[in-house]
């Protein structure tokens, strides 16, 4: 699954720890729960943190195929591997044997899973989802997202879905279809059927797929999502349509009216510094270099990192303190970036036309007085 379906629309230092997520990003089981709540068809599933929990909870299943999936905030789990786990085991395991399913739960929980979308050291699996398998006949791809080009919602689809959707976008872009939606009108029956046709659903199944597509769009609007990605969106051998894998991202600006959803956030995979910076309304992303940056404005911050790279250095972070920053925020920004043991110096680059330089200076002076800087040097 793509990290952001926007990749279908069109060399700084490597992120070092945690999953860098600017918007709220739910685990798959949480996303599937929202889909189910809004009338979308998903498989039966349970969530477990250990084998005993899984053993008790899968009693609701009959004699079925079991799909065990590691719950981390990254795609490509099926082709991933565990650093310290069973050789050959990926983040998705399918079996008809209940005991094997339960064993795979214990083999995943507590281990670090590496995929194309995780840091090199992988992400520790805290939970797994076990769901019933469905008799898949055909896999397609569907995502609803905000599109800058059309200034509104857009449904992006491909009749070829599954784990290799990135390759579809790269090698056969003509199989990716975009359907802009008028946000004031919403998705019409005609549009939904047209999208279902692009996904190569036919006859009565096309009507069923269109209904699911309309419900997915309604969910997208109702929860203030920036993306609802279903990969795969499947046709089963017995003539049903299922949302088998789900990924939903949300607009942080909507937190005040989506309190129940934002309360579901799991910050265990995020960089702890990013989580702390967010508390002070600071835009921070940790990197692998040793030159910390404190800058106002995202564009200037990126240009500052480019200059560091151009001169042979490595930035330790992206940090945009914003144009309305106060002294307390500057203090905490300085504290966060100097807490990084790899940082040797701090480069402060502030454009005085946006923010009062005295505010920045006073915040830095306060930080230097209260924080043990060690070998860190401040440059401006």
- Give the model confidence (pLDDT) of 238-247 as tens digits: 999 999 988 8
What is the reported pLDDT for 60? 86
What is the separation, in whole angstroms, between the first and last Cα of the chain? 42
The pLDDT confidence band at residue 301, using thresholds 50, 70 and 90, is: very high
Tens digit of pLDDT for each residue in 39-63? 999 999 999 999 999 999 998 888 7
Reported pTM: 0.74
Lowest mean per-residue pLDDT among 5-14, 104-113, 162-171, 276-285: 5-14
pLDDT (tens digit, 9 = 90+) per residue, 129-171?
999 999 999 999 999 999 988 899 999 999 998 767 778 888 8
Helices (H) and strands (E) in the chain, counts: 11, 19
Reply yes or no on whether 280 is catalytic: no
Of the residues 66, 141, 217, 284, only one is catalytic, namely 141
Both tokens of 359, joined, read: 């505010």
Catalytic residue status for 260? no
Q: What are phi and psi of 338, to 5 degrees?
A: -85, -10
List the domains of the chain with CATH numbers.
Answer: 44-133 (3.30.1490.20), 136-260 (3.30.470.20), 272-379 (3.40.50.261)
E strands, the chain, in order: 24-25, 45-48, 66-70, 81-82, 92-95, 112-114, 123-124, 128-132, 136-147, 152-158, 177-180, 225-236, 241-243, 246-250, 283-286, 291-295, 317-320, 345-349, 377-379
Could you say which of 211, 229, 274, 327 is catalytic?
229
Contacts of 56 (CB under 8 A, 6+ apart): none
Look at residue 117 in the predicted model and tell me its pLDDT.
87
Q: What pLDDT is recorded for position 23?
A: 67
Provide mean pLDDT across the span 357-364. 93
């Amino acid at each position: 699954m793509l990290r952001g379906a926007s990749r279908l629309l069109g060399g700084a230092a490597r992120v070092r720890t945690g999953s860098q997520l600017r918007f709220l990003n739910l685990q798959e089981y949480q996303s599937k729960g929202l889909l189910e709540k809004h009338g979308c068809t998903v498989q039966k599933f349970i969530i477990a943190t250990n084998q005993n929990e899984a053993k008790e909870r899968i009693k609701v299943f009959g004699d079925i195929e079991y799909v065990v999936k590691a719950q981390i905030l990254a795609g490509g789990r099926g082709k991933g591997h565990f650093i310290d786990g069973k050789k050959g085991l990926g983040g998705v395991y399918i079996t008809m044997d209940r005991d094997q399913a339960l064993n795979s739960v214990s083999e995943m929980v507590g281990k670090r899973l590496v995929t194309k979308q995780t840091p090199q050291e992988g992400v520790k699996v805290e939970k797994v989802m076990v769901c019933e398998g469905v008799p898949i006949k055909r896999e397609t791809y569907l995502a609803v997202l905000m599109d800058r080009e059309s200034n509104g919602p857009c449904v992006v689809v491909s009749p070829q879905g599954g784990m290799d959707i990135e390759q579809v976008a790269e090698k056969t872009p003509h199989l990716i279809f975009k359907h802009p939606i008028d946000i004031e009108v919403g998705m019409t029956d005609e549009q939904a059927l047209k999208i279902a046709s692009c996904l190569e659903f036919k006859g009565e199944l096309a009507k069923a797929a269109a209904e699911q597509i309309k419900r997915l769009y309604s969910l997208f609007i109702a929860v203030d999502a920036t993306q609802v990605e279903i990969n795969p969106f499947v046709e089963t051998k017995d003539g049903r349509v299922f949302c088998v894998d789900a990924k939903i991202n949300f607009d942080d600006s909507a937190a005040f009216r989506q309190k129940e959803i934002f309360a579901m956030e799991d910050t265990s995979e995020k960089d702890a510094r990013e989580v702390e910076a967010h508390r002070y309304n600071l835009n921070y992303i940790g990197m692998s270099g040793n030159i910390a940056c404190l800058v106002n404005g995202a564009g200037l911050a990126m240009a500052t990192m480019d200059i560091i790279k151009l001169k042979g250095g490595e930035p330790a972070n992206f940090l945009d303190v914003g144009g309305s920053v106060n002294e307390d925020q500057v203090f905490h920004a300085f504290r966060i970036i100097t807490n990084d043991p790899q940082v040797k110096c701090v480069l402060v680059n502030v454009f005085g036309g946006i923010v009062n330089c005295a505010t920045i200076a006073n915040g830095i002076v306060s930080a230097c007085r209260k924080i043990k800087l060690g070998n860190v040097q401040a440059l401006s």
